[in-house]
Amino acid sequence: MAGRLTEVAEKVGVSEATVSRVLNGRDGVSEATRLAVLTALDVLGYERPTKLRGQRARLVGLVLPELQNPIFPAFADVVVSNLVQHGLTPVLCTQTVGGMSEAIYLEQLFQQRVSGVLFAGGLYSGTDGPHEHYSLLVDRKLPTVLVNAGIDGLPFPRVSCDDEVAAQQAVNHLVSLGHTRIGLVLGPADHVPSLRKLDSARKTIAAAGLELPDELIEYAIHSLEGGQVAAARLLRQGATALVCASDPMALGAVRAAKRAGLAVPREVSVVGFDDSAFLNCTDPPLTTVRQPIEAMGRASVDLLIALIEGGAVEYDELLFEPELVVRGSTAPAPA
C-alpha cells in the first residue's frame, strides 16, 4: 500500500496524505486533484477502491506514428504526465506496419467517447497521405490538437518545432567548420517538416555563397536503415557533412560513413534532429538539433484542455525554438 501511495503521489505531484484522502473518500481534496489521483491509478495499473470503480476518468486519445524513434516515447511521457495532472486518462494509439490505421483508431476513440485527441506526427504531416478521416473530427466537433508541421487547411491548433530555424542552425554550424559539400538526409518527399527544412537549408547555404545541388539531397523513411541508405548515396557524391531529419537517420548516416571507411567526424560530419535519449553515449556522441519536447508537450495539453473546457483558443501554429547541441560527430572539414 505504501509503495502505491508513493508512486501515485509522485505521478500527480501531491502528498501521500492527499492520495490517501482520495482513496478513502474523505473531504478536503479539490475535484481536479481527486480526478488526477484516480487517473494516476488507472495509468499506473492499480485497481481503484471498490467504491470508486464506477467513477470513470475522462479519456483523451494520444495518437503516435511509432515508438521506435525515442523522441515519441519521450514526448508521450511528457503528455501523459500533464494529462494525468488534469484528471484525464490517455488512450495510447500507436501505428505499426500492417497494424491499425489512423482512421480505425479514430473510430475506436469515438466509440470510447473520448474528450479529445492529440496527434503527434500523424498522416497530416504528409501532403500525399489520406486525410479524409480528419473531417470526422470536425464533424463531431471533437477537441483536437496536432503536434508537428502538417498540411494546410486542417482547422486544428498546431504545436511545432521551428524546422526553418533547425535547418539554419545545423547548416550554419557546418559552414562555420568549413564544409562546402553539405548533404541533406530528409524524410519522404511529401513530408512537410522535411520540406520546410529543405527550403531553409537552400536559403542558408545560398546566403553562405555555396550551392545545394540536387545530388546532395536524399529522401528516405525515418529510420536508421533509411538514413544509412540515403547517406551512402550522398557520400558517393562527395558530401563531407550530412544534415539528417531525425536522430535514427543520423545514426544510420554514421554507420554508412564507417562502412565506407570514412572516419566520423574527421572525414565526415553528421548532424541529427530531435536530441533523443542516450545520444551522448553513441560513438561518436551525436551533434543534433534539440526539439523542446517538454515545452511542446505542455503547450499541446494546455491547448487541448482549453478546447475541452470550451475556452477560446488561437488556431495559429505555435512554433518552438530548437537548440543546436554540439557533440562529437562534427568537426572541421577535411583538407
Closest CA to 268 of 253, 246, 280, 282: 253
pLDDT on residue 27? 82
H-state helical runs in 125-246: 134-139, 163-176, 192-207, 224-236
160 pLDDT band (50/70/90 cuts)?
very high
pLDDT on residue 50? 61
Residue 220 within a domain: yes
Of the candidates 290, 308, 328, which is a domain's last residue? 290
Average pLDDT, the chain: 91
Give the mean pLDDT of 4-25: 87
pLDDT on residue 8? 87
Grid coordinates standing for 260? 565506407
CA atoms within 13 A on the CB side of 212: 23
Of the candidates 17, 33, 52, which is a domain's last residue? 52
Please write the tens of the pLDDT for every residue from 208-243. 999 999 999 999 999 999 999 999 999 999 999 999
pLDDT on residue 51? 61
pLDDT on residue 31? 78
Q: How far is CA 140 from CA 110, 116, 169, 186, in A?
A: 9, 11, 41, 35
DSSP 252: H
Q: Is the pLDDT of residue 170 over 80?
A: yes
Q: Is the pLDDT of residue 162 over 80?
A: yes
Domain containing residue 39: CATH number: 1.10.260.40
pLDDT on residue 34? 83
Weakest mean pLDDT among 124-138, 181-195, 250-264, 303-317: 303-317
pLDDT on residue 2? 62
Tell me which amino acid residue 330 is. T
311 pLDDT band (50/70/90 cuts)?
confident
Give the mean pLDDT of 319-326: 98
Which residues, in sequence order, are CB contacts of 222 under 8 Å at separation 6+?
Answer: 69, 187, 245, 246, 248, 249
Residue 320 within a domain: no
Residue 260 within a domain: yes
Residue 335 within a domain: no
Q: Is the pLDDT of residue 56 over 50?
A: no
**Could you give the CA distance from residue 160 to residue 75 in angstroms, rounded to a whole number?**
12
Residue 235 within a domain: yes
Over the range 32-50, which residues count as b (16 or more CB within 10 Å of their CB) and which as e? Answer: ebbbbbbbbbbbeeeebee
Please write the tens of the pLDDT for every residue from 113-131. 888 999 998 999 999 989 9
Residue 282 within a domain: yes
Please write the tens of the pLDDT for every residue from 137-153. 999 899 999 999 999 99
Residue 175 within a domain: yes
Grid coordinates standing for 135? 473531417
Domain containing residue 246: CATH number: 3.40.50.2300
- How many domains does the chain contain in total? 2
Q: Is the entire prediction scored with pTM above 0.85?
A: no
1 pLDDT band (50/70/90 cuts)?
low
* 96 vs 176, higher pLDDT: 176
Q: Is the pLDDT of residue 136 over 90?
A: yes
Residue 129 within a domain: no
pLDDT on residue 55? 47
pLDDT on residue 165? 98
Domain that holds residue 200: 163-290
Of the candidates 11, 26, 52, which is a domain's last residue? 52
What does residue 60 show for φ and ψ, rounded to 5 degrees?
Answer: -135, 130
